[in-house]
Structure 1
Amino acid sequence: MTDRIRVLHVDDDPTVVEAAETALERKHDGVTVETASSVTDGTKRLDGGAFDCVVSGYDLPERTGLGFLEAVGERYPDLPFVLFTSEGSEAVASKAVSAGVTEYVRADAGSDPYARLADSVVGAVERTRERDETARSGGDARDDTRRERAIEELHTTARAFMRATSEDAIAQIMVDAARTILNMPANAVHFADDNGLSPVTWTDQVEELIGVPPVFTPGDGLAWQAFETGETRIHDDISSNPNRYNPDTDIRSELLLPLGDHGVLLIGSCEVSAFDDTDVTLAQTLSVHAKAALDRLDRERQLREEREFIDQALDTLDDLFYVINADGSFRRWNKRLPEVTGYSDAEITELEVCEFFPADERETIHGAIDQALNQGRTTVEAEIRTADGELVPYEFTGTRLTDTDGEIAGAVGIGRDISQRKAYEQRLERQNERLDEFTSIVSHDLRNPLTVAEGNLELAKTECDSDALDKVSRAHERMRALIEDLLTFARAGETATDLESVALADIAEECWQTVEGDRGTLVVETDCQIQADTAKLRRLLSNLLRNSVEHGSTDAQVPSGRAAEHDGENITVQVGAVEDADRHGFYVADDGPGIPEDDREQVFEEGYSTGENGTGFGLKIVQRLAEVHGWTVTATESEAGGARFEVTGLEPA
């Protein structure tokens, strides 16, 4: 072309405008591009001067590109209009083609969208000028009527596309519509697969012309070029095109329409320049509808596969998984629900959640559902009733679900069988009952006779002075110490439930007051806070501190189980924090004679004692008190060579 081309580009993105102008000027030396950033400004520009083509974005200020197309069509019906956008969709493309857009170019498709835009603009202007020249020479105006009638029929075809349930059905609709509505008898659909572009459906005329259509492998022919670039290709005469697939074919004109990643629609004719602008527009409308239908099938397939994958994952759970609607009906569940309850999937569909529970628990379940829906989360224990009437204890959790508008849609949750936990709790309750009986016997039935014996011993001492009575007195003291330790040991097995944050230093100082402090010195080297049952922590520390004083001071008899005698007047006991990379806790250490390495595990055994007056329960009680907190206690050597007891497994502060 030698005439100049004046283009109006309407878009509020300066980067897009600049890139498009560069591509157009590179494509054609005579291109002049003027710009507008809004529909109002663009309309004023059109009214103020003659333009050969309009390029428009889709998401414009004030109106969409389709609205601008409608306004331009009313004022300048013959002016080429190219919609260039990455913000549209296949539905937008379909509406644009139906509304009369000359070209629809996706800015996010292909390797060089701006070069495709330049090709589309220059090609649209050339075809318009040729059409005008033909009209001036007495051309026929019946194209407009044919186009309107074909578009109406294609809308019916679009509905057929949306009802199609397979790619082959969509391909057949394409072939039939191109043959009967567009009067293009030689057409074929090729879908992309591992081999390339394989023929799926074709007309009889195609087979008469070339036989069974070939498979186009990557790089083969003009069909592959159209598929790879994503651009509609119009070839008026392929006989001189070096890229044609078959040099000996009788086909001269080809119209190649890509179907996105799905394949291509190929339309051929034995005539040169067989396809005019109306043919191209109508064929593009058909391909856009087909691509939208193929995309829909892809999305449905992906959703189906994702759901199957999720269902398979949920079905591997031993727990019940469920989704309920806001009205309490079931929406979705895994296979464990029918397995546990004995109801079929069809029966579960007809049941509400509360119908799975005994009548006396339904109010509780109603309340839990309301809490999940209104507060966001809930946890409740209840017995689920099976179809056979069996009651199984479960713990249910529920979390609120909302729709895209933020409205409450229902709840999702997990049901966990707690039969074993309930059985354990019952066993523990029975054990606690027996423990209470035991402690009652120890506290009353043993203490009372001991008190009587001690009273009578005092009377005997007033009447008789005998060393034998002193031995009886010491035996009474040992019996009372054993009773106290037995009670402490039994009660140490109770769960630590009254947890609170306490300062270790304060508890250590308090416990030291109950120890014979004149035989030692306490040094506290930590200010850490720990979560503990205060009463049990106090007993644990008291036993450890007393153990250090009784077995480590110089005036204590050094038993065979301890090392050499402590060399000093008083023992020093330290309390500090254990802060290793993988351990957190505290220690009680002394500078006494220490514990031989071979005896460090044995000291925690019941009845083990190296002192004459020891009951053998002191360190066992420490171990039990640590265990009920979830802690671990170990014996080792202090830096001074004495005994060091480490209590670890605490949660970091």
Structure 2
Amino acid sequence: MPDRIRVLHVDDDPAVVEAATSALEQEHCGITVETATNVADGIERLDSEAFDCVVAGYDLPEQTGVEFLDAVRKRSPDLPFILFTSEGNEAAASDAISAGVTDYLRVDGGAEPYARLAHTVVDAVERTVDDIKHVQNTRRERAIEELHSTARAFMRATTEDAVAQITVDTARAILNMPANGVHFADGDSLYPVAWTARVEELLGTPPAFEAGESLAWQAFETGEARVHDDITSIPGRYNPETDIRSEIILPLGDHGVLLIGSCETGAFDDTDVTLARTLSVHATAALNRLDRDRQLREEREFIDQALDTLDDLFYVIDTDGSLRRWNERIPEVTGYSDEEIDEMSVSEFFPGDEHETIGAAIAETQTSGRVTVEAEILTADGERVPYEFAGTRLTDADGTTAGTVGIGRDISQRRAYERQLERKNERLDEFTSIVSHDLRNPLAVAEGNLELARTECDSDALDKVSRAHERMRALIDDLLTFARAGETATDIESVTLADIVEDCWQTVEGPRATLVVEDDRQIRADTAKLRRLLSNLVRNSVEHGSADAQTPSGHTAEHDGESITVRVGIVEDADRHGFYVADDGPGIPEDDREQVFEEGYSTGENGTGFGLKIVQRLAEVHGWTITATESEAGGARFEVTGLEPA
């Protein structure tokens, strides 16, 4: 029961109205009675105000109470209507019942008719409230059941437009809201996507709403649902001349809004709003799902595209030994189609003699987590292609092994290079054997005979022969060093630069030379080759930087001091890492700084022209670069760069 009951009593008999008003207000302290003397006034009051019950006489001016009842029923089918009259007959009562009267009472119908009227009004209002609640609950329950069925349709939808259409159809058919539509967001506007025929009857094609120009945009921007019982009183409405009076505006997340309208004021009760909200929640969830699906699809397409651009094989192996995923390179290399690969096990991509290797590698991946193995792929055409495979254990969210993910790289060129290197090393061994034995032996014989000749004869010519022998021996030593410098740097380890330089300095003849080591940084290198490289650089500084040395151009150096200072330090620029050997000697002219590394280039009478060429070769086998430049003191500076950062 409402706390306040408003009754409209329509009768032109003042005595009846006064007595009825008194009885009603005494019966229920919450009853308020408003009166009208004719049907026209009564209709006007009902159109402008809300009442819980109507009491009317039968014989009214211009129209009967039954005719008044018929007009009321067309407006409010559930509003309690009590015909309370001293006039009338059974025929009138029958007409009233047929028109849907709630109760029929005679003013002269027994004792205390006004008290019975009061009880009848209260009972009628109470029954109506209960009936309305029952109808609302039944409708809500039925609508919720049907909305659950609609939720399945939402989950089957594959496009945003399909979701919008399902939303519109559901609001019309299940929620009995014939005028509704969905607008989607696009930048700073909301554009119509789906709407009912009733919307077109009222508005034509629904308009698009730009930012800030409508109630729909306000709801979308704030994310808050809006329920308006009468939009004519709401500022900011899009069209002040619209026939729409009541409106529900429900945001659909970041996707748009659901608009539900009615030409009646106060058309939507709490049940309507609750059901509409439920519908909007289902629609928003469906749109969010499509967004996630699209993002996942786009992400997968991006990843697939990235993997397909690889020259390497990419693969994911399931725990049962089948391929779960692969890039386009695998069918290109193997010659099998995607359909064939889908039915194959990993072992079928390899010849029989590789099965044990591959099986052991996969098993090791499951235990150690990572493995690298070389094996030959057997293509559909029977060709064997060498590959290096790097696999890593793949786990799920619980840490359980889900398979192996890996990369396969074609090592055909590397294998060919290795074979070529083997042949080259064989020829190099032959060469060094010839140099070290076939040349040294005749030289040793010549030197022995020279000594015998000196016992028999003292001649300047023999001195020239001796110097020639020394140059030949120096050439043989440098040739051997140069040849062996071409080998790869295999014994890489961390060494202290200062220690290696100090060792090299012990072998340099130069009483007037001074060594300064400016850093004791550790570097990774082949110790033997690094020692040879530094020895050659230090010796070059001492030999070409002394007071009586000649510059690379052949002129005598003008050095102010009695000694030469050699400095060794670290190169640590933003993009260069290495070390340098510098001196304060005469330096190297800028035009000659590239020529000094050429084979056979020398400026001294006893030079072989291999010293700096050997240095360059020793740097290259480490992957380093050497350049000649000028030191801070104006002398020569050699920079070796390309080392790993400290």
Say yes or no: TM over 0.5: yes
1:309 partnered with 2:302: yes
Structure-1-length-normalised TM-score: 0.70
Query: 2: distance between equivalents of 1:491 and 1:234?
Result: 90
Work out the CA distance in 2 between the residues paired with 1:552 and 1:240. 100
1:534 partnered with 2:527: yes
Q: Find the counterpart in structure 2 of residue 607 from structure 1.
A: 600
Which residue pairs with 2:282 in the alignment? 289
* Counterpart in the other structure of 2:172: 179
The equivalent residue for 1:102 is none
- Indicate the residue corresponding to 2:353 in structure 1: 360
Cα distance in 2 for partners of 1:463, 1:619 equals 41
Which SS does the other structure have where 2:281 is aligned?
A: helix
Letter in 2 for 1:302: Q
* Alpha-carbon shift at residue 433 of structure 1 (Å): 1.5
Name the CA shift for 1:497/1:135 in 2 (closer, same or farther; >3 Å): farther
Q: Which residue of 2 aligns with 1:577?
A: 569
The two structures, once aligned, show a CA RMSD in angstroms of 3.5
Post-superposition offset of 1:471: 3.6
1:233 and 1:256 in contact (8 A); partners too:
yes
* 1:65-97 alpha-carbon deviations (Å, 9 max, x no partner): xxxxxxxxxxxxxxxxxxxxxxxxxxxxxxxxx
> How far 1:304 sits from its partner (Å)?
1.8
Change over 3 Å in CA distance of 1:561–1:604 after alignment to 2: farther
1:229-251 Cα shifts (integer Å, max 9, x gaps) = 43333333445556555556555
In the alignment, is residue 624 of structure 1 matched against residue 617 of structure 2? yes
Contact 1:356–1:384 under 8 Å retained in 2: yes
Q: Tell me what 2:474 maps to.
A: 481
Give how far 1:440 is off: 0.9
Q: Which residue of 1 aligns with 2:505?
A: 512
**8 Å contact 2:624–2:643 — kept in the other structure?**
yes
Amino acid of the structure 1 residue aligned with 2:173: T
- How big is each residue's C-alpha offset from its partner over 1:16-61, in whole Å with a ceiling of 9 and x where there is no partner? xxxxxxxxxxxxxxxxxxxxxxxxxxxxxxxxxxxxxxxxxxxxxx
SS at match of 1:577: strand
1:507-565 C-alpha deviation (Å, 9 max, x unpaired):
23322333335464544444333322211122223223333444455687899725336
Q: What is the distance in 1 between the residues matched to 2:203 and 2:632?
A: 96
- Say whether residues 1:427 and 2:417 are aligned partners: no
Q: How is 1:490-501 mapped onto 2 (pairs within 5 angstroms)?
A: 490-501=483-494
Residue from 385, 388, 410 that aligns with 1:417: 410
Superposed CA deviations along residues 342-392 of structure 1, whole A, max 9, x for unmatched, are: 222222222233432333333333343344444343333333332222233
**Shift in CA distance, 337/133, structure 1 to aligned 2, threshold 3 Å:** farther
Unaligned runs of 5+ in 2: 4-122
* DSSP 3-state at the match of 2:175: coil
Change (3 A) 1:289 1:449: same
Query: 2:371 matched to 1:378?
Result: yes
Does residue 144 of structure 1 match 2:137? yes
2:482 aligned counterpart, secondary structure: helix
**1:158 paired residue number:** 151
Contact 2:155 2:286 in 1 (8 A): yes
Q: Distance in 1 between matches of 2:553 and 2:229?
A: 111
Return closer, same or farther for 1:135/1:393 CA change in 2, 3 Å cut-off: farther
Q: 1:575 to 1:191 in 2, by over 3 A?
A: closer
SS at match of 1:285: helix
SS of match in other structure, 1:363: helix
3-state secondary structure, aligned to 1:477: helix
Local SS of the residue matching 1:234: strand
CA deviation vs aligned residue, 1:587-621 (integer Å, no higher than 9, x gap):
44455555555544433332233333332222322
1:267 and 2:237 are equivalent in the alignment: no
* Structure 2 letter corresponding to 1:353: V
Between the aligned partners of 1:511 and 1:526, the Cα distance in structure 2 is: 16
Q: Deviations over 1:226-277 (max 9, x none)?
A: 4444333333344555655555655543333332233333334444433322
Distance 1:330 1:256, change over 3 A: same
Match of 1:255, SS? strand
Partner residue of 1:201 out of 189, 194, 203 = 194
1:318 is aligned to 311
Letter in 1 for 2:573: A
Residue type of the partner of 2:569? A
Change (3 A) 1:237 1:392: same
In structure 1, C-alpha distance between the alignment counterparts of 2:544 and 2:198, rounded to whole Å: 108
> CA separation in 1, counterparts of 2:137 and 2:507?
108
* Cα contact 2:489–2:526 (8 A) shared by 1: yes
Q: Which residue number in structure 2 is paired with residue 392 of structure 1?
A: 385
The residue identity in structure 2 corresponding to 1:575 is R
In structure 2, C-alpha distance between the alignment counterparts of 1:245 and 1:568, rounded to whole Å: 95
User: C-alpha distance in 1, partners of 2:579/2:235?
Assistant: 86
- Stretch moving more, 508-517 or 292-301: 508-517
Kindly, what percent of the aligned residue pairs are identical?
A: 80
Q: Find the aligned partners of 1:145 and 1:226 in 2 and give their Cα distance.
A: 30
Q: Which residue identity does 1:537 align to in structure 2?
A: L
Distance 1:440 1:219, change over 3 A: same
1:616 maps to amino acid: G
SS of the equivalent of 2:385 reads: strand
What CA distance in whole angstroms lies between the structure 2 residues aligned with 1:175 and 1:640? 86
**Aligned-partner Cα distance in 2 for 1:190–1:133:** 44
Deviation for aligned residue 1:222: 4.2
Contact 1:500 1:531 in 2 (8 A): yes
Deviation at 1:629, TM superposition (A): 2.4
Cα deviation, residue 503, structure 1: 2.5
The letter of the residue matching 2:170 is A
Opposite residue 544 of structure 1, the aligned amino acid is L
SS across alignment from 2:569:
strand
Residues 1:215 and 1:471: Cα distance change in structure 2 (over 3 Å): closer
8 Å CA contact 2:550, 2:603 repeated in 1:
no
* Cα distance in 1, alignment partners of residues 315 and 368 from structure 2: 19
Question: Is residue 566–residue 593 contact of structure 1 (8 Å, CA) maintained in 2?
Answer: yes
Using the alignment, how far apart are the partners of 1:616 and 1:212 within structure 2?
Answer: 92
Greater CA deviation, 641-650 or 153-162? Answer: 641-650
Aligned partner letter, 2:180 = N
Structure 1 435/191 Cα, relative in aligned 2: closer, same or farther at 3 Å? same
State whether residues 239 and 247 of structure 1, in contact with CA within 8 Å, keep that contact through their aligned partners in structure 2: yes
How far residue 157 of structure 1 moved from its aligned partner, in angstroms, is: 1.6
Q: Is the Cα contact below 8 Å between 1:492 and 1:625 reproduced in 2?
A: yes
Question: Relative to structure 1, is the Cα distance of residues 317 and 271 closer, same or farther in structure 2, using a 3 angstrom cutoff?
Answer: same
Question: Is the CA contact (8 Å cut-off) linking 2:231 and 2:237 kept in structure 1?
Answer: yes
The code of the aligned residue for 1:415 comes to G
The 3 A distance-change label for structure 1 pair 136 and 239 is farther
- The alpha-carbon deviation at position 314 of structure 1 amounts to 3.0
Q: For 2:187 and 2:546, how far apart are their aligned partners in 1?
A: 86
Shift of the 562–290 alpha-carbon distance from structure 1 to 2, 3 Å rule, reads same
Give the number of aligned pairs: 522
Residue 491 of structure 1 and its aligned partner are, at CA, apart by: 0.6
Asked whether the 8 Å contact 1:562–1:594 carries over to 2, the reply is no
The residue aligned with 1:118 is: none
The structural deviation recorded for 1:164 is 1.9
Answer with 1 or 2: which has the greater Rg: 2
Please name the residue that 2:82 is paired with: none
1:232 corresponds to which of 222, 225, 235: 225
What is the deviation of 1:437? 0.9
Deviation at 1:431, TM superposition (A): 1.5
Picking from 303, 322, 326, the partner of 1:329 is 322
Q: Does the 8 Å CA contact 1:526/1:575 hold for their aligned counterparts?
A: no
Q: CA deviation at 1:652?
A: 3.9
